[in-house]
Amino acid sequence: MFCCMPTTLSSGVTLTQLAGGNSALALAMTVISNLLGIMFVPLSLAKYIGTGAGVSLPTKELFRSLVNTLLVPLILGKVARETSKGIAEFVDGNRQGFSVLSAVLLSLVPWIQVSRSRSLLLSVKPKAFAIIVTIGVLLHLALLAFNATTLQVLSCLKQKEESVLTRKEYARAVILVASQKTLPVLVAVVEQLGGALGESGLLVIPCVAAHINQIIIDSILVNWWRQRDQRSTSAK
C-alpha cells in the first residue's frame, strides 16, 4: 500500500531546499503526483492489493476520500489566494510559521491512527518490528538507486547537448521527491478500507516506520551533498 502512494506533501520540498535543489521543480512534482494519485491510487490498490488478497476494495469511496483530502483543499486554497490579496500577503509573510504548522498537523494524522490501536501495537513482537524497519530501509534505498540510475541513463541519451537532468539542482529535486512516499494520504486511504485488510492501526505501523526511515536516510544524503558542495567551494 505504501508503494502505491504519491510523493510526500512537504518533506520532499523541504529537503530539496536544504540540499540546494530546485524547489520549484520539487513543488511541481509534489502537486502533480498527488493530483494523479487521486485517480491511480484507488486503481492500484484494487489491482495489486485487493485482487491478491481476494478482497473487494471500496474504490469509489477511496476516490471520494482522496478528492476531499487532496483536491478540495488545493482548490479552496488557490481560490482564496487569487481572490484575496490580504490572504496571499499574510501567507507569504508567514511562510515559516505555516510550514511548522503544516508539519505538526501532518504528524498528528498517523499518531491519532496508531493511538486508536494502542493495545494491538503493544502486541507487536520486536522481531516483526525489526523486519518492518529493515524492509522500509531497503525499499527507500531501492527507490533512491532506481531514480538516480534512471536520471543517469536519461542524461546519457542526450549526447549532443547538455541535459537539464545533469544539473545538480534538478537531479537532487527529482531524486529526493520521487523516492519518497506520503504517509497522511495512506492514513486517509486506510480509513476508508473499514478493516478489509486488517486493523487500521496495525496497517499504519509499518508505513510510519518506513516514513521515518526515508526522512532519516534523505537527511543523511542531504547533509552529505551539502558537505561535498562546501568542499568544492573551498577548493575553488
Q: Count CB-CB contacts under 10 A for residue 178.
A: 19
5 phi-psi bin (left φ>0, alpha ψ -120 to 50, beta other): beta
The answer to whether 114 touches 208, Cβ cutoff 8 Å, is: yes
The answer to whether 164 touches 21, Cβ cutoff 8 Å, is: no
pLDDT by 10s per residue, the chain, length 236: 888 899 988 888 889 998 988 989 999 999 899 888 888 888 888 888 877 666 777 778 888 888 887 888 888 888 888 888 888 888 888 877 887 787 787 777 777 766 776 777 777 788 888 898 899 999 999 999 999 999 888 877 766 566 666 788 899 999 999 999 988 888 888 877 776 677 777 788 888 889 889 999 999 999 999 998 888 887 76
C-alpha atoms less than 13 angstroms from C-alpha of 191 in its C-beta half-sphere = 17
Q: Which amino acid is at 94?
A: N
This prediction's pTM: 0.81
- DSSP states along 99-166: HHHHHHHHHHHHHHHHHTTHHHHHTS-HHHHHHHHHHHHHHHHHHHHHHHHHHHHHHHH--SS--GGG
- Nearest Cα to 69, choosing from 179, 183, 178, 155? 183
Domains and CATH numbers, the chain: 2-230 (1.20.1530.20)
The answer to whether 169 touches 22, Cβ cutoff 8 Å, is: yes
Residue 151, all three cell numbers: 536520471
CA distance 59 to 79: 29
The answer to whether 210 touches 139, Cβ cutoff 8 Å, is: yes
pLDDT number for residue 137: 93
CA distance 138 to 214: 10
Measured at the alpha carbon of residue 171, what is the angle toward residues 169 and 157, in degrees to the nearest 5? 130
Q: Which amino acid is at 135?
A: I
User: Measured between alpha carbons, how far is residue 207 from residues 65, 131, 214 in Å?
Assistant: 19, 13, 10
CA distance 134 to 179: 17
pLDDT number for residue 160: 59
